[in-house]
């Protein structure tokens, strides 16, 4: 076979691979749904298979060989946020399923690590942390410490305070003080609700308007001074109670 003939063959094989991958990607949501249906029916082996099939499709699309190598940085958070949320939930479901069998606890831990990775610093992180907190409270886990550690890691790895960070930067003392306020709020049910709404609102606000002149003007002239005033008056009193 000539070089050009080999090239044509490779090209055809590559085209076939791309077409097959495109077909699988178009049906990935159906695969994930089959996994959920199997989970609800108590068919856990099939649930694991379908969930792994879904994640394998995502991994192949992102040019990764292992589902545990999928990263948030591979996604467009504006266009693929729903997919990212589903990925985080599927990793959590896998962690639960693997936890039931001691010899699969390493797989459970890897799934939990992915759950944390896809939760921290995302608009839905409070929803996910609340999900894992409720599961810890009502469920009998073989390895509860791993799940408890994951719950804590979501907030340890989370650095964004969105509006405060936008105004003062990632490492400013005012930003750090507001992170302490967030930690204090998360100790209360109503506080979790406030943090949840804040993340949902502020992430959209900053991500969609941070380059606009009017938003920059309002942030500099009004929001930043208010945040600074609060950080020097009421916030120290609250933080001392933490």
The CA angle 20-37-109, to the nearest 5 degrees, is 80
Residue 61's nearest CA partner among 47, 76, 50, 46 is 76
Among 49, 50, 20, CA closest to 32 = 50
Alpha-carbon distance of 21 to 82, in angstroms, equals 21
- SS3 string, 73-90, reads HHCCCCCCHHHHHHHHHH
Token pair of 184 as six digits: 């204090």
Helix axes 224-232, 173-185, angle to 10 degrees: 70
Per-residue model confidence as pLDDT tens digits over 132-170: 888 888 778 899 999 988 887 776 566 566 788 888 887
**Spacing of C-alpha 139 from chain mean position:** 22
pLDDT digits 0-9 by tens, 179-201: 788 778 877 778 877 877 777 67
Beta strands in 14-57 (DSSP E): none
Q: What's the confidence (pLDDT) of residue 20?
A: 92
* Tokens at 160, concatenated: 């964004």
pLDDT in tens, 103-135: 999 999 999 999 999 998 888 887 888 888 888
Rounded to the nearest angstrom, the gap between the alpha carbon of residue 128 and the centroid of all alpha carbons in its chain is 8
Q: Does 4 have pLDDT greater than 80?
A: no
What is d(CA 21, CA 9) in angstroms, rounded to the nearest whole number?
18
Look at residue 14 in the predicted model and tell me its pLDDT: 81
Chain-centroid distance of CA 241 in Å reads 30
Phi, psi (rounded to 5 degrees) for 198? -60, -45
């Amino acid at each position: 076979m000539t070089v050009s003939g080999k090239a044509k063959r490779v090209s055809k094989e590559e085209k076939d691979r791309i077409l097959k991958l495109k077909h699988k990607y178009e049906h990935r949501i159906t695969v994930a749904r089959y996994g959920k249906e199997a989970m609800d029916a108590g068919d856990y082996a099939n649930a694991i298979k379908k969930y792994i099939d879904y994640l394998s499709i995502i991994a192949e699309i992102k040019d990764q060989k292992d589902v545990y190598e999928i990263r948030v940085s591979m996604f467009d958070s504006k266009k693929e946020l729903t997919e990212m949320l589903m990925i985080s939930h599927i990793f959590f479901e896998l962690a639960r399923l693997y936890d039931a069998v001691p010899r699969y606890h390493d797989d459970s831990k890897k799934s939990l690590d992915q759950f944390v990775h896809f939760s921290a610093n995302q608009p839905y992180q409070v929803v996910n942390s609340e999900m894992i907190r409720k599961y810890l409270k009502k469920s009998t886990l073989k390895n509860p410490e791993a799940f408890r550690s994951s719950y804590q890691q979501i907030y340890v790895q989370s650095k964004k305070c969105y509006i405060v960070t936008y105004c003062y930067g990632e490492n400013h003392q005012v930003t750090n003080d507001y992170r302490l306020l967030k930690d204090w709020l998360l100790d209360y049910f109503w506080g979790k609700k406030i943090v949840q709404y804040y993340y949902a609102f502020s992430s959209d606000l900053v991500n969609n308007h941070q380059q606009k002149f009017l938003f920059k003007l309002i942030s500099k002239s009004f929001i930043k001074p208010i945040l600074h005033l609060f950080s020097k008056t009421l916030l120290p009193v609250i933080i001392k109670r933490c």
